[in-house]
A and B are shown apart, each in its own frame.
Chain A
Amino acid sequence: MTAKTQYVNPGKLGARRQSRLTKWLMFALFVCLAIVFIFPLYWMVISSLRPEGRIFVDAMEVIPSALSLDTYRRLFEEEPYGVWFVNSITQTGGYALMGVFLCTTGGYALAKFRFRYRNLLFVLILVSQMIPFHLLIVSLFLMIIQMGMAETYQGAIVPLAASPIGIFFMRQYMLAIDDEMLNAARVDGASEYQIFWHVVLPNARPAIATLLILFCIDYWNNLLWPLIVFRNPDNFPLAVGIKRLIDQYRQQYDLTMAGSTLATVPVIILFFFLRRQIMQGLATTGTGIK
């Protein structure tokens, strides 16, 4: 250990001294980068906060002189935004729970049981991910109509729930769970059911949490499928609702921006608080390294 650090240090010190200028340049570069990435979001928020009728007048002010929550009031009074918000939460929750359940059981079975055709099955699951969704849309839509699920929450979430990639993700994670632990539980007389609930699930908690978050964000932002399934504005989730706002108010951006801000806030909050969780999950399973 000490030998290693001594070995490293001279080079590192040299590099550090040499690159003071580069370091400042990089710092400047990254500050620019940060502005480029944050400014559009800032613009969205202040546009939604400009007082009514002044969005055109005040547009030139980067730092607004007057703020008002009036747009948000209109959003809830003139548009069924509250309904959309609740729809989004319900549908997202249902989708994420259903999806995680299916992926966890499937992933566990594929990772920890040995059975004939397992690998074939696994490949078939992955292959189904490669099928372009657009190819399936029309026949999925026909199917939904046949099943009587058009214009229902089930129609929007059920067909998307079994995500092959989610199964893959869980399988990768489950592979890392030690077989010895499961066998020990078996020796102690635990049933398979008990093993799944009390040994596997607690150990897979990080992966489950990651998947849950990703599924939530996924559905929250999903537009295409809900757009096809729903025609009635009272069933819309947020993304479809905002699309309607964009279509309706092409020249009047305050409502659209307010709606967008409110739809983005939960995602950003989720993301900032659970950033570590998401990244950890992706790093351990998503890249397959370690």
Chain B
Amino acid sequence: MLYFRLLLVRPVAVLVQFKKRETMQVEPTSDITPASDALEVRLPHRLRLLNQEERAKLWLRIRRNWQLYVLLFLPLLWLVVFRYAPMYGAQIAFRDYSPAFGIEGSPWVGFANFERFFNSFYFKPVIINTLVLSFYSLIAGFPIPIILALSLNQVKTRLFRNSVQMITYAPHFISTVVIVGMLFQFLHPRVGFTASLANLFGMAPPNAMGDPGAFRHIFVWSGIWQEMGFNAIIFLAVLSTIDPALHEAAVVDGASRLQRIRYIDIPGLMPTAMVLLVLTTGRVLEIAFEKVYLMQSPLNLSVAEVINTYVYKVGLLSPVLDFSYSTAIGLLKGFVGLLLLIAVNHAARRMTGNSVW
């Protein structure tokens, strides 16, 4: 989507590392703001009104650093307008929004929209589908890139290793629409590859895409197919930083390959893996909207309707657009996601000592 998935989860992991590093080294002072530190000391109470001399100094400071403000202005403006302002708009979850009155003119209704969702016929199936699909993806999808990275790390032939890596992460760059189109075609009951295969063995060709029982497996495993190589990149990068001396010492001590993986590689991966696990869990309800939406058909809707697609249909697709209701559901999901993130982070810290914060 509009974030690259890799970078999406990684930064906080990086942030943790950077925080550590930043505290260790003294940051080089740029001579562009020589006065700022001194000023900070002199003005401990920020709420105090500035006297004239200080105000002049402040202006001088701003004028001297105008380049900085020019550089910062546009990106910040953008984020405020397109990221934070819509958050303000999310208050329509608690209102009965109608375009005639605008956001602020619509009447407050408290939690009515939420209650409506809780009492709705869709509530239970949508929640269950979301949870099953997301945790299935997480549990099946999380260890596989690690295993791929661990085994690739064992391969010493450069060409071989690089080509495997390239082949496995290429699908990441293919559009979801294309992937789903391929799925429909590949698994088609008449022209699909699976149909040919079934015919070859004299079996009845399966209609996988129309089978509600198969939906989850197809969704999860095609996702793994698409993302495993790409997700392995970070683990490979971490593995490459493990001190070779550890491996040398282990070899001298007679450790087998498996033992070295078990006692050197895996512990080395642990901190990164934990951080990623926490972050992935925090976003677990965000299951790839586009893919679920495209894979939906009247046949599999009973298992394929998830929160995100429901929000989209209620808020942006149905004949009677219900912005408030749809925003309320989105907000609820965001809130649950946050709770999950906190819970998993806590669990990770208790169990392994590694966590995001």
Contacts and interface: CB of A to CB of B under 8 A. Distances in A.
Contacts of A33: 164, 167-168
B237 A287 contact: yes
Contacts of B79: 125, 128, 162, 164
Residue with the highest number of chain B CB atoms closer than 10 Å, among A55, A180, A243: A243
A36 to B, nearest CB: 7
Interface of A: 7-8, 11-12, 14-15, 19, 22, 26-27, 30, 33-34, 36-41, 43-44, 47, 55-56, 59-60, 62, 102-103, 105-106, 108-110, 112-116, 121, 125-126, 128-143, 158-165, 167-169, 172, 175, 179-180, 182-183, 186, 192-193, 196, 214, 217-225, 228, 238-239, 242-243, 245-246, 250, 253, 256-257, 260, 263-264, 267-268, 271-272, 275, 279, 282-283, 286-290
A158 B2 CA distance: 12
B173 A271 contact: yes
B49 interface: no
Contact of B333 (A56, A134, A137, A245): A134
B139 interface: no
Interface in B278-316: 282-283, 286, 289-290, 294, 308, 311-312, 315-316
B316 A137 contact: yes
Contacts of B128: none
A288 B17 contact: yes
Q: List the 5 shortest-distance A-B pairs measured between CB atoms, nearest first.
A: A139-B89, A106-B75, A162-B78, A11-B251, A288-B14
Contact of B86 (A103, A136, A186, A282): A136
Contacts of B94: none
A192 to B, nearest CB: 4
B196 A135 contact: no
23 contacts: A8-B248, A15-B257, A102-B74, A102-B78, A106-B76, A115-B68, A125-B79, A130-B282, A131-B83, A131-B334, A134-B333, A135-B87, A140-B82, A140-B86, A183-B30, A193-B67, A218-B3, A219-B2, A256-B181, A268-B173, A272-B166, A287-B13, A289-B237
B166 A129 contact: no
Interface string B141-163: 00000000001001100001001
What range describes how many residues of B lie at the interface? 35 or more
Contacts of A131: 83, 87, 334
A60 B199 contact: yes
Given A128-B79, A138-B326, A159-B82, A264 B164 contact: no
Contacts of A220: 175
B347 to A, nearest CB: 19
Contact of A113 (B30, B326, B327): B30
Contacts of B89: 136, 138-140, 142-143
A49 to B, nearest CB: 13
Interface in B191-234: 191-193, 195-196, 199-200, 225, 229, 233-234
A137 B39 CA distance: 42
Contacts of B163: 34
Contact of B330 (A44, A137, A182, A289): A137
Contacts of A217: 4, 173
A253 B191 contact: yes
Given A132-B330, A136-B83, A221-B174, 4 more contacts: A44-B182, A56-B190, A59-B191, A289-B17
